[in-house]
Amino acid sequence: MIRRLPPTVLIASLFVAGCAVGPDYQRPEINLPESHRGASPENTKAPSLADSNWREVFTDPPLQSLIEEALSAGPDALLAAARLREAEALAGVSRAPLWPQGSISLNTSPTIRQPGERFTASYLGGAGISWEIDLWGRYRRASEAAKAELLASEEALHGMQASLVATVARYYFQLSTLHDTLTITERSARNQGEVLRLIKRLSAAGISSAAEERQQESALAATEASLPTLRRQIAETENALSLLLGRNPGAFRLDVPPKLALPGLIPPGLPSRLLEQRPDIRQAEARLMAANARVGEAKAMFFPSLSLTAIFGGVSTSLADVVHGRAPAVASIGPNLLQPLFAGGQIYFNREAAQARLDQAVINYRKTILNALGEVANGLVAYETSDALMETQARRVAASREAMRLADLRFRAGTTNFLEVLDTQRQLLAAETQEAQALLERRQALISIYLALGGGWQATGR
């Protein structure tokens, strides 16, 4: 016999079907400054550097090729993509309880055995349908949370892509600087070797002393001692870059030191743009949305659950009759209502834990924004000061080269001692090495500010 639901129950079910307990998400109020610290006033309203595709910022073709390889085949990129697929699957799982669930079952139960009777059992087989009506939005909130967590996974992928672009560029420029430093050191060693040969000739002629010869030998040995360290650092950087690309450790060919068109001023855009530009902020907000939905899911546990169940099949003491469809037919349909009364505080504390996680998500969201503002401010200062550093180092190199030339002429003319030559050699080597480091700092500062503004990941969606 099929039992019908009373009309009042159906009407009430339809009326509350659109209800969902718990707070709807609203973005927290954030007190953002009007402009970034260190930003140039004329660049405040200019389009942000982060709006530029990474190919427009890193224009060197070999570097672009390495970045593309890392984004497509690097282990970090593949791992993040796999995590995103997992999140997509879990979002699908969360939507399943919103739909009726069907199944086929075969059950057995013993029957009462009278004295002298054989042991018998009854069998029930058939198809069943169950559907828990989401009266209070418990499953809808769970689905909402899963969608937000999926969005967080997408933003984690974007953040990984931005970080990968920056890391490949850092290794690339670091490798270029190491090659430049190696070239400078080898050139200095050759020059010092020529001076040593001159000193030996002068010493053999009695013009120079053996002490000066030993001093130059010591200076040459000190310069040559740094060469193995530089070669080791080059190999380590190449290996790190290879692993980032998913390659076996190996060397990278750099025929020409890479050139990078460095902008004079960085347009950072408005601080409010960071909320949309930075993947980590977007990820933190997605997690906040998920935590907010979980609060509603936890609150729904306090209310009764209503489910509709139906079964159609046959029952008999003969398993063969049930299997072959000869058993008497049975059918049942009706509601099941469950109201939790006591669960040892589980429902209450589950809600309290969800609320605490929501509070943590709000704090983390605000903290992520503050960290972003700090990174942008630090990046702007680093980029500005690196420009002044490069100018100073360029003047220092020019002065050191001229001092070296004059000291060499004076020594050959016999108007100065050899200590002046040694001193100018050390100063020139230090100046040229630090000039290469200054260029690296300038490039690293550009990478840092570009990453701080949230750039780098948009290329995958274009």
- Nearest alpha-carbon partner for 315 in 113, 456, 108: 108
Residue 324 has, within 13 A of its CA and on its CB side, a CA count of: 5
Note whether residue 178 is domain-resident: yes
Contact 414, 154 (CB under 8 A): no
Note whether residue 114 is domain-resident: no
Degrees, nearest 5: CA angle 89-93-95: 120
Note whether residue 122 is domain-resident: no
Note whether residue 183 is domain-resident: yes
Contact 435, 32 (CB under 8 A): no
Per the structure, the count of domains in the chain is 1
Long-range CB contacts for residues 227-234, cutoff 8 Å, separation at least 24: 227/182, 227/185, 227/186, 227/189, 230/178, 230/181, 230/182, 230/185, 231/182, 233/178, 234/175, 234/178, 234/179, 234/182
The CATH code of the domain that includes 218 is: 1.20.1600.10
Neighbours of 388 (CB within 10 A): 10
Residues in the chain: 462
Spatial CB neighbours of 270, under 8 Å, sequence gap ≥ 6: 34, 35, 44, 45, 48
Long-range CB contacts for residues 57-65, cutoff 8 Å, separation at least 24: 57/446, 57/450, 57/455, 58/165, 58/169, 58/260, 59/260, 59/261, 60/172, 60/258, 60/259, 60/260, 62/172, 62/254, 62/258, 63/168, 63/169, 63/172, 63/258
Note whether residue 317 is domain-resident: no
Q: Give a three-class secondary structure readout of 310-352.
A: EEEEEEECCHHHHHCCCCCEEEEEEEEEECCCCCCCHHHHHHH
Q: Which range of residues forms the domain containing residue 414?
A: 27-99+137-305+346-461
Note whether residue 184 is domain-resident: yes
Task: Report the C-alpha gap between 416 and 412 in whole angstroms.
Answer: 9
Tokens linked to 351: 């809600």
Residue 53 has, within 13 A of its CA and on its CB side, a CA count of: 10
Note whether residue 330 is domain-resident: no
Tokens linked to 78: 């593949």
- The pLDDT profile of the chain, 462 residues, written as one tens digit per residue, is 334 444 343 334 434 444 678 888 888 888 888 777 877 666 566 677 878 888 888 888 888 899 999 998 889 888 888 888 888 888 888 778 778 888 888 888 777 666 666 667 788 888 888 887 877 888 888 888 989 999 999 998 899 999 999 999 999 999 989 998 999 999 989 988 888 887 788 777 777 777 877 888 888 898 899 999 999 999 999 999 999 998 999 887 776 555 566 777 777 877 878 888 899 999 999 999 999 999 998 998 888 888 888 888 888 777 787 777 788 888 888 788 778 887 778 888 889 999 999 999 999 999 999 999 999 989 888 888 888 898 898 999 999 889 888 888 887 777 777 778 888 888 888 899 898 899 899 889 999 988 888 887 664 443
Note whether residue 323 is domain-resident: no
